[in-house]
Structure 1
Amino acid sequence: MHENRNVERRTVLKVAGATLATVGLGATATACGGGSGASGDGTVELRFSWWGADERAKRVNESIALFEKKFPKIKVKTDFQDYQSFWEKFQTQAAGGNPPDVFQNSLTFLRKYDKRGVVLDLKSQVDAGNLSLDNLRSGLDKLGEVDGKLVGVPVGSNVMSLVIDEKVFQAAGVTPKQGWTWDEYFDALQKIRDTQKVAGDTGYFGIMYLYDLYLRQNGKAFFTDDGLGFTEAELTEWWQDGYNRVKAGIVTDPKIVEQTKPKSALAAAHGASEFTWDNFTVRYATEGDSTYGLAPIPTTDGKQTGQWLGGLMLSASARTEHPEEAAQFIDFMVNDPEVGKVMGYDRGTLTSTPQFEAYQPTDAPNKAIAQYEEDVAAAGVLGEPTPHPAGADTVEAAFLRISGDMSQGKTKVSDAVKQFFSEAETALAG
């Protein structure tokens, strides 16, 4: 999963804006199912859709060729777009009762489309032996569950991480260590600013998933099963602190961050560290001129980071005419070792043990990603995924947009908090 985090998060905003206007799905849809039926010789056709770039398309198509060789009576018709176009098209298909048989998915959208009756509960297919979860790596076996149903199977994993410019950190005499605190992190940013004349961070306070980690460190979470898990006062403190650090020069000026896009402000040397999903970090080696590494997440108590494994998933349509074949396809894409060799870490670190062991990365960025996830797991800090209620995608978009306006001085912190809570409550009530 090599998408640019900033691009992906930014495009969510446009997709989410249309979400609330989407009509009710599930029982109200009357169109035909997702499958195309079986031909006279018993051949079944599945429709499979995903988002990504041309490189992912080539890898997926090569993997599908392996699947069709093993299952000659199942043909797979493919469709892919960029992130924004995918969700716009999927919403239209789902509203019309004709989503693809199998589709790429993420935690943000699981509950939303389960609530609307769009996704298939795959537990019966597991029981029937058409889909195996036995080989999923530790921390991933529950990722696709919603209210006791299995509505997604992870195909690529990632974890929130801290990417650092190693040359800048070394020159400043800063060495991140497992269990370091937020105070120590902010002291490091100040030291970097004072000695290297560059901001220490590119804008941590606008990342919803990082704020979730901070809340989890303090016994809370960004979302509960049906709402927000924090107060206006708590968000005010988080955003005010971030705004103050921008003004103090230890966090990159948000206007510079915007002007630098789509290139990362870290890679452009406008900051020395950046929080992002670990599998996005391959971009820095190609965009920047320094060396970049993955560092531990700062903590509140010196122990718990709040981290959890997320990642891309595969889901099946509740309207598919071929649930058995859809499950067999998902199983193959998740567990087959040869597919692991073909896909590599394009969608994140491989989630099943057979694929993880079959693919041995040779480049430094992907080696570092695999090692980081192993180190985080070994540290014993991984927890269960945070619940994502229906409307979480709209909430995330609002958090990014409103925090950006606040950090640029377009709105006061207090007004920004009130605006966010208003938009979030509307989205979560829908």
Structure 2
Amino acid sequence: MHPATPPMADERAAHDHRTLFSRRGLISRLVATAITIPLVLGAAACGGEDEPSDSAPNAPVELSVFWWGGEARAKLTEDALALYTSKHPNVTFKKTWQANQGYFDKLATLTASGDAPDIFQIDDNFLTEYASRNVTLDLTSYKDDKKLDVTKLPESLWQYGVVDGKLAGIAGGENTQGLVYNKTLLQKHNLPEPTTGMSWADFITWAENVSKVTKVPGTMDPSADYKAFWVWLRQQNKDLYKGKELGFTADDVTKWFELWKGARDRGATPTADVIHEGNATDITKQLVVTGKAATSFVWANQLPELKKATKDELGVVAYPGDPSAQWARAALYYSVFRGSEHKDVAVDVLNFLVNDPEAGKILGTDRGLPSNLDVRKSVSEAVTDPAMKLSIAVETELAAKFGPSPQVPLKGHSKIRAELIKAAEEVQYGRQTPSASAAAFLEICKSAIA
């Protein structure tokens, strides 16, 4: 499984010899910024959603599919698509995949040049952008007709694919935020483990005590982590986004930075240089597995990957505070290109990947916990990895406490995530006060979503 944000570890470059999209897309990269996607879509062969997409029920159909991931994900995806073809012999696939790095550059080039794949993988960093440019097909009518069945998905999970009232993508998997801790370290020193529902103040006090007893900082400093900031905001009856605007103020950011300045001053966290290491997205550099902190703020489904990097036993609970601030998050989505000549078939493939029990067994937990709860149950029963079992158990437990999903992030979300790291580090290194850094960060955020 993989965090949205960031896809599964060990991703590799795609098989270029299998890439079947037109190479003219590479040339268009040079002028892509001058081309607006809506204009290209207007010139696309198939036009809008009102036009019929499939000429005959059993006519030969070839669908192009594009996704990111490593070789393991590629094999699983290919096997699932082969299963679909075995059930629908008239449908075949052109399959292309690559590592996460550069994936969205390539997707932008393909959509701008008119070579967009019929089906593509996307995450919440970009879903709003592609939906607002009319790249993604609105799946609402298919959902209403149950051609895309969401009845076995948590409601908040499928709703996390809605942008401006349109269902722009269907969750290919689910994850949520998770606080991973070093269980071996705590047991060695007879210290209590963190628990779901403990307040932020209690958590920082707990971490301070861990630091004193074990001589290992009790927690990473998550002030640069947008996931932690987002959950904390929702616990304050705020949000990261509200409509087309930011859902927080400079005062909110100041309070967040001050919370963690206080934790650093009390010795609950490492020093700024070590905190900086923990801000890296590389799973192998998380402080809970490098031995530089007793906890790390990650995605719950990253526990198995973290376990590979340490011999210590790990545990996972919800982020501090009210767990109802967390939600069933789409680890990633499957979307259909609005200009596809075979929309109906493409949507049927999405329905198959999400809801078919056999496909679910093939795909397993590579893209997160299966979205369909029945499929999830059968897949979970077959899991043998202890870390994965724990991750599934915790997320299943949290599912009963999840609150409603927030809106999908606005365009500019990636910029905001990156700038939060910079702003938090200005405070961590003592170069700016919490209030000064918060004010500067807010102005950058406003510009990012404009």
Asked whether the two chains share a fold, i.e. TM above 0.5, the reply is: yes
Match in the other structure for 1:25:
37
C-alpha distance after superposition, 1:7-37 (max 9, x if no partner)? 989x9xxxxxx9x967532245565459999
Are the equivalent residues in 2 in contact too, given 1:46–1:102 (CA < 8 A)? yes
Identical counterparts, % of pairs: 26
* Distance (Å, rounded) in 1 between the aligned partners of 2:250 and 2:33: 27
Question: In 2, distance between residues paired with 1:38 and 1:318?
Answer: 17
Whether the 8 Å CA contact 1:155–1:347 is kept in 2: the answer is: yes
Aligned to 1:72: 89
Distance 1:239 1:114, change over 3 A: same
Q: Which residue of structure 2 aligns with residue 62 of structure 1?
A: 79
Contact 1:5 1:280 in 2 (8 A): no
**Residue type matched to 2:413 in 1?**
A
- Name the amino acid aligned to 1:367: K
The verdict on how the C-alpha distance between 1:107 and 1:334 changes in structure 2, with shifts beyond 3 A counting, is: same
1:285 corresponding residue in structure 2? 307
What are structure 2's unaligned runs of at least 5 residues?
A: 12-29, 48-52
Aligned counterparts of 2:289 and 2:319: Cα–Cα separation in 1: 19
Find the counterpart in structure 1 of residue 357 from structure 2.
337
Q: What whole-Å deviation, never above 9, does each CA across 1:47-97 have from its counterpart, x for those lacking one?
A: 111111111111111111111111111111111112221111112222334
Closer/same/farther in 2, CA of residues 6 and 259 from structure 1, 3 Å limit: farther
SS in 1 for 2:437: helix
Normalised to the residue count of structure 1, the TM-score between the two structures is 0.88
Residue 114 of structure 1 corresponds to which residue in structure 2? 131
Instruction: Provide the C-alpha distance between the structure 1 equivalents of 2:34 and 2:217, rounded to a whole number of angstroms.
Output: 42
AA of the residue aligned to 2:339: R
- Give the equivalent residue in structure 2 for 1:42: 59
Does structure 2 conserve the Cα–Cα contact (< 8 Å) formed by 1:30 and 1:96? no
- Partner in structure 1 of residue 168 of structure 2: 151
Aligned counterparts of 2:312 and 2:430: Cα–Cα separation in 1: 31
- Give 1:189's aligned residue: 207
Name the amino acid aligned to 2:310: G
What residue number does 1:427 align with?
A: 448
Whether contact under 8 Å (2:287, 2:295) holds in the other structure is no
Flag the 1:6–1:151 CA change in 2: closer, same or farther, 3 A. Answer: closer
User: Counterpart of 1:308?
Assistant: 327
Q: Which amino acid aligns with 1:309?
A: A
SS of aligned partner of 2:405:
coil
Cα drift, residue 335 of structure 1 = 0.7
> CA, structure 1 residues 178+349, in 2 after alignment: closer, same or farther (shift >3 Å)?
same
Number of residue pairs aligned between Structure 1 and Structure 2: 416
| Cross-structure match for 2:237 | 219
- Structure 1 residues 403, 98: CA separation in 2 closer, same or farther (over 3 Å shift)? farther
1:346 alignment partner, one of 362, 366, 388: 366
CA contact under 8 A between 2:182 and 2:312: conserved in structure 1?
yes
For 1:15, the equivalent position in structure 2 comes to: none
Which amino acid in 2 is paired with 1:96?
A: S
**CA distance 1:78–1:217, change in 2 (3 Å):** same
Distance 1:101 1:46 in 2: 6
1:279–1:33 distance in 2 versus 1, CA, 3 Å: farther
1:144 to 1:214, Cα distance in 2 relative to 1, 3 A: same
In 2, Cα distance between equivalents of 1:21 and 1:423: 22
TM-score between both structures, scaled by the size of structure 2: 0.84
Does the alignment pair 1:374 with 2:374?
A: no
Match of 2:418 among 388, 397, 402: 397
Q: Which amino acid aligns with 1:402?
A: A
Cα distance in structure 1, aligned partners of 2:418 and 2:160: 22
Answer yes or no: is the 8 Å Cα contact 1:156–1:347 preserved in 2: yes
Task: Quickly say closer, same or farther: Cα 1:82–1:416, change in 2 above 3 A.
Answer: farther
Instruction: Give CA deviations for 1:111-144 in whole Å, capped at 9, x if unaligned.
Output: 2111111110012233455321122135323221
Matched, 1:272 2:294: yes
The letter for the 1-side match of 2:366 is: D
Task: Give distance in 1, aligned partners of 2:273 and 2:178.
Answer: 24
User: C-alpha offsets along residues 100-121 of structure 1, whole Å, 9 cap, x if unaligned?
Assistant: 1111122232221111111100
CA contact (8 A) 2:230 2:239 kept: yes
Secondary structure (helix, strand or coil) at the match of 2:246 reads coil
**Residue type of the alignment partner of 2:446:** E
Q: Which residue among 110, 129, 139 is the counterpart of 1:93?
A: 110
Q: Is contact 2:45-2:339 (8 Å) kept?
A: yes
Residue 216 of structure 1: SS of its match in structure 2? Answer: helix
Unaligned stretches of 5+ residues in structure 1: 12-17
Partner of residue 388, structure 1:
409
Closer/same/farther in 2, CA of residues 209 and 32 from structure 1, 3 Å limit: same
Aligned residues of 2:183 and 2:193 also touching (Cα < 8 A): no
Structure 1 residue 194: Cα displacement: 0.4
CA distance in 1, matches of 2:146, 2:416: 37
1:339 CA displacement: 1.4
**Conservation of the 8 A alpha-carbon contact between 1:314 and 1:330:** yes
Cα distance in 2 between the residues matched to 1:401 and 1:99: 34
Instruction: Work out the CA distance in 2 between the residues paired with 1:21 and 1:271.
Output: 43
Task: Say if 1:254 and 1:341 are closer, same or farther in 2 by CA, change over 3 A.
Answer: farther
